[in-house]
Amino acid sequence: MSTKGLHVVPHGTGWAIRRAGASRASRLFGTLKEAVEDARQRARSEAGELYIHGTDGRIRERNTYGADPYPPKG
């Protein structure tokens, strides 16, 4: 499983996909929906994690694709 995740973050008037730890965005999008669709597809193909941030920059959704090293109990 990938140790680094993908973050969908606000960027200017649009949205960007940024890898964890990266200072620059890897792709830019006009809408949140476009950014999330592309990031979700990449996270699935890499069996990684996807973090979707809100306009305030806080994480509002987190998804793990592939084998989850910490599955929920119960």
pLDDT tens per residue, range 32-69: 999 999 999 999 999 999 999 999 999 999 998 887 66
Distance CA 24, CA 66 (A): 26
pLDDT at 2 over 90: no
- Region of 2 on the Ramachandran plot (φ > 0 left; ψ -120 to 50 alpha; else beta): beta
The closest alpha carbon to 9, from 18, 22, 19, 21, belongs to 18
The whole-model pTM stands at 0.84
Domain ranges of the chain: 6-64
pLDDT at 19 over 90: yes
